[in-house]
Structure 1
């Protein structure tokens, strides 16, 4: 039986069964909206302010006026976590354009919907954190930045879903996505790092990636540990020839990747720097 949770919609709480939005909402009809996925540790949301800043910037980029202040939304997120007695778990914060008549015109929409879901999540089996996971390169690429900025965390994730399907059909739980130039961007839901000769490398923002909150935290931890860290364009060659590889994300946290396209990365096992940064991240979120 599913755990009973209280879902926040525009200042009110509803059960899972009663939490509803209009079928005319542009978020449903056209993927017109933005969202954030956040983690709670010991009842506290990890880097909530950074997530909300990114949410506001995503909304600003698509011309979606937030119907609430950041201060009020901060209170509401924390209240939703407390109401659901969420100690360690996941928070999905969604803002839709709101409902309107059929058609693309967003200026005819009204009543943007703010939805907060606080619940438990298990993205990957625990064995993948100890043994590492396999990746496959997807043919579906990241959105072209000329079409939609990859820095906008929008509700339209169809290209990521298609890439995820490619991975699953190949027997891999994650898939690597390239950008329009054939460079490494990110995975379907996570940022990617490689270790080479003791140094840490990750694709830059202009490679067509979402600037991950966990990604930035790991970069900070690496710098504090004295690990040389560089953001630079990469191709699959850089992953094939890397000593280590790992992924980061709010839901995934830090997880090693040990194979790409059937080829071992390094010795095919999680490496020492991956383990070091994973331990440092786990200590950070519990601090």
Structure 2
């Protein structure tokens, strides 16, 4: 059997979950989305994801026709209807059906859909052995253009970088901002560790303020690990003791080589392992239950 999809107030079989070819999400990438995870019968950081969705929508002046509480229930009910306790959730709000012009005022009602399925960005051996990455020519969007803090459907910037990673024969790429500072990976935030300090770019460097990113920062501080949000360059990655990426789909994954330079001893480091372990432990207890137990 196929999946059950939430679409504009109804739960329908996936083959019936269709949108108009005049939807501006399709025509122009005009919309916002969230990727969310369910673990062990709980939706991890659901409140934070819903809040970010509505913040993204506010910035692009997109009216979501559901309250935040109702949207949370949509996520939970879609999981229930698919009998899923562990899943990847894609929650999408588009500008809706309009005409072939750009004017968003022609779109009278947003389109909302929720997909609950599965995802695996990287094979298990890369979590054990670490990623090899490169930096790429494509720069991260400037905040005055398509602000990276808005999780919009307009992801071509990230896709260009992913294509460049593919051409280089590596699974992931590091993106710089227009000033040459490290911003993030194609779909994940980046951390380095140097002399016992956890370092990550500040959000103003041109990155999405990741839910997993913030979670790892909180975990580190709970463990007494100093955390610094500051600008840094590729040089700082090359001389780091450890490096890892974070994201909802990727979770926490070590990086062991960037642009041909081994990070530390070329193996995932102890602090990375410790933070990965603590993150997975948190997913077992955080978030609302899907099925009451």
Q: Deviations over 1:65-100 (max 9, x none)?
A: 111111111111111111111121200000000011
Where 2:257 maps in the other structure, the secondary structure is: strand
Q: Deviations over 1:8-38 (max 9, x none)?
A: 1012122222210000000000000000000
Q: How does 1:104-253 map to 2 (within 5 A)?
A: 104-253=102-251
Segments of structure 2 that go 5 or more residues without pairing to the other structure are 286-293
Q: Deviations over 1:118-147 (max 9, x none)?
A: 011111100000000111101111111111
Where 1:150 maps in the other structure, the secondary structure is: coil
List 4+ stretches of structure 1 deviating above 3 A: none
1:43 touches 1:82 (CA, 8 Å); kept in 2?
Answer: no
1:43 touches 1:81 (CA, 8 Å); kept in 2?
Answer: no
Q: Deviations over 1:202-258 (max 9, x none)?
A: 000110010000000000000000111100001000100000000000000000000
2:42 touches 2:284 (CA, 8 Å); kept in 1?
Answer: no
- In 2, the alpha carbon distance for the partners of 1:175 and 1:22 equals 34
Pick aligned residue for 1:74 from 72, 75, 79: 72
- Specify which structure has the bigger relative contact order, considering alpha-carbon pairs within 8 angstroms and separated by 6 or more residues: 2
- In 2, the alpha carbon distance for the partners of 1:246 and 1:131 equals 12
1:182 shift after superposition: 0.7
- In 2, the alpha carbon distance for the partners of 1:21 and 1:223 equals 44
Where 1:17 maps in the other structure, the secondary structure is: helix
- In 1, the alpha carbon distance for the partners of 2:22 and 2:234 equals 42
Pick aligned residue for 2:31 from 8, 30, 33: 33
- In 1, the alpha carbon distance for the partners of 2:204 and 2:174 equals 17
Instruction: Look up the match of 2:88.
Output: 90
1:214 touches 1:249 (CA, 8 Å); kept in 2?
Answer: yes
- In 1, the alpha carbon distance for the partners of 2:153 and 2:169 equals 26
Instruction: Look up the match of 1:14.
Output: 12
Matched positions, count = 285
- In 2, the alpha carbon distance for the partners of 1:58 and 1:256 equals 29
Segments of structure 1 that go 5 or more residues without pairing to the other structure are none
Q: Give TM-score, length-normalised by structure 2.
A: 0.96
